[in-house]
């Protein structure tokens, strides 16, 4: 397993549990040492127990160097550059490392979310580095190795369940490659394993996350319209969803995480002229962050001197992952502007992220915030925030970007100088 991150480590551990001997490879020495001591460097439900068990049984070990194996799985990051262009450097570096130890009979599988054509690039790289081997797509007759694309599709917070239960889409450079990869996934996947081409599998992964992004953008656009009209968007969505063929997702402070806010750009970059909807959805979701900041600022300005509670920093509910989090961006903006007035509540953090240093903002628990803050900005729908009963917050003034408190007394739009505030905020 090349890459021991949010996908690679759980996948390596699950494969090891199936009885295979697994080597996890990572460029980060700390990660390698942590795993070899039976510990984990990421939070995911049940992962620590699973990893300590398979390491103790000698089924999983980690190294900074790729060693010969029968199956290679690449699960490394694929970030994007300043123009949203996909960066597959880590994938190609992993493939180069594999090329050095590849032998006839091996299978190479790419799992990283990738722009269309990346698996073919991996095949081309292997052909260049290993002219002694017959590489699929580059040889007549039976190839010596199999190369396939099989995207991960697991939801953070449910990774160990979804790794087993979700269906898998397996795209081979040739049908024979897909069959060899399928044989591998059958070891530990209970869901259906469906085979196709590498390119179709690559596009399928991007399509899934673009679908979600577009649908969240629809909800976010509605929320802004409802806001300017003084209508409760949550009520409108609840009512509209009573229609048998309408199922609107939830608005929020923007879209975070390292998948849904990134992957649609891979589609846009591949065919900019024909992806107007997908691009616009990205822009709508990014703009929702600035809108949330404007609404929160308006609330803070309407209550000069009052302490403001910001509920949540994570990119979504009930996880400790703050990467690309709109909640964090909003809270940080407020901390920079209002300093010590800002009290952040984040049960999944033991201290505020470094970016908050020198802002004067502090991390407090929920009870302290309820006791000391008359203004609340709800940024994450953690269960613990949802559970606050009305009597504990009836006298608060709230901007609820997640709709977790539908019974909260309404603040008249005239009380909040929204238009002025929105006009005053640029970018994130």
Residues forming the site for ligand SAJ (CB under 6 A)? 113, 152-156, 208-209, 212, 216, 249-250, 252, 255-257, 259-260, 315-316
| Active-site pick, 150, 177, 193, 205 | 205
Catalytic annotation present for 259 = yes
Residue with Cβ nearer ligand SAJ (137 or 353): 353
Residue with Cβ nearer ligand SAJ (316 or 382): 316
Query: How many CA atoms lie less than 13 Å away from 251 in the CB half-sphere?
Result: 28
Tokens of 319: 């996880």
Residue with Cβ nearer ligand SAJ (266 or 338): 266
CB of 43 to ligand SAJ, least distance (A): 14
Residue with Cβ nearer ligand SAJ (205 or 393): 205
As separate numbers, helices (DSSP H) first and strands (DSSP E) second, the chain gives: 15, 12
Cα–Cα distance measured from residue 133 to residue 155, given in angstroms and rounded to the nearest whole number: 37
CB of 65 to ligand SAJ, least distance (A): 27
CB of 331 to ligand SAJ, least distance (A): 14
Q: Which residues of 31-61 are buried (b: 16+ CB within 10 A; e: fewer)?
A: bbebbeeeebbbebeebeebbbebbeeebbb
CB of 123 to ligand SAJ, least distance (A): 23
| Active-site pick, 259, 288, 310, 396 | 259
Residues β-bridged to residue 172: 148, 197
Tokens of 358: 């020198």
Catalytic annotation present for 316 = no
Residue with Cβ nearer ligand SAJ (139 or 240): 240
CB of 79 to ligand SAJ, least distance (A): 13
- 93 burial type by CB count under 10 A (0-12 exposed, 13-18 middle, 19+ buried): middle
**Stretch (H or E) spanning 176:** helix 175-185
Residue pair 26/3 in contact by the 8 Å Cβ criterion: yes
Catalytic positions, written as ranges: 205, 259
């Amino acid at each position: 397993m090349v890459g021991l991150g949010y996908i690679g480590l759980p996948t390596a551990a699950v494969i090891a549990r199936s009885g295979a001997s697994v080597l996890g490879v990572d460029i980060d020495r700390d990660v390698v040492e942590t795993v070899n001591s039976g510990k984990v460097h990421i939070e995911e439900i049940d992962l620590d127990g699973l990893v300590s068990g398979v390491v103790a049984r000698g089924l999983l070990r980690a190294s900074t160097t790729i060693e010969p194996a029968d199956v290679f799985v690449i699960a490394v990051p694929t970030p994007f550059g300043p123009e949203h262009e996909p960066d597959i450097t880590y994938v190609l570096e992993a493939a180069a490392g594999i090329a050095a130890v590849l032998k006839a009979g091996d299978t190479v599988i790419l799992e990283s979310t990738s722009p269309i054509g990346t698996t073919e690039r991996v095949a081309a790289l292997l052909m260049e580095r290993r002219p002694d081997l017959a590489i699929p797509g580059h040889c007549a007759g039976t190839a010596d190795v199999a190369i396939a694309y099989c995207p991960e599709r697991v939801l953070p917070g449910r990774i160990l369940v979804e790794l087993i239960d979700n269906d898998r889409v397996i795209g081979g450079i040739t049908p024979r490659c897909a069959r060899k990869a399928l044989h591998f996934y059958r070891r530990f996947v209970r869901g259906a394993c469906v085979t196709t081409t590498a390119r179709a599998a690559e596009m399928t992964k991007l399509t899934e996350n673009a679908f979600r992004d577009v649908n969240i953008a629809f909800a976010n656009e509605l929320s802004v319209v409802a806001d300017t009209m003084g209508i409760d968007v949550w009520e409108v969505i609840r009512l509209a969803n009573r229609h048998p063929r309408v199922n609107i997702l939830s608005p929020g402070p923007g879209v975070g995480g390292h998948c849904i806010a990134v992957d649609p750009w891979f589609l846009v970059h591949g065919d900019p002229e024909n992806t107007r909807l997908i691009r616009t959805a990205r822009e709508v979701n990014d703009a929702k962050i600035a809108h949330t900041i404007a609404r929160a600022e308006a609330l803070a300005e309407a209550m000069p001197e009052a302490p403001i509670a910001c509920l949540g920093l994570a990119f979504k509910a009930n996880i400790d992952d703050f990467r690309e989090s709109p909640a964090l961006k909003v809270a940080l903006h407020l901390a920079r502007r209002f300093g010590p007035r800002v009290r952040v509540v984040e049960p999944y953090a033991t201290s505020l992220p470094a970016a908050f240093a020198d802002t004067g903002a502090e991390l407090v628990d929920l009870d302290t915030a309820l006791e000391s803050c008359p203004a609340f900005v709800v940024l994450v729908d953690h269960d613990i925030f949802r559970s606050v009963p009305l009597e504990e917050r009836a006298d608060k003034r709230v901007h609820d970007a997640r709709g977790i408190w539908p019974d909260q007394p309404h603040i008249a739009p005239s009380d909040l100088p929204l238009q002025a505030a929105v006009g005053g905020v640029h970018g994130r």
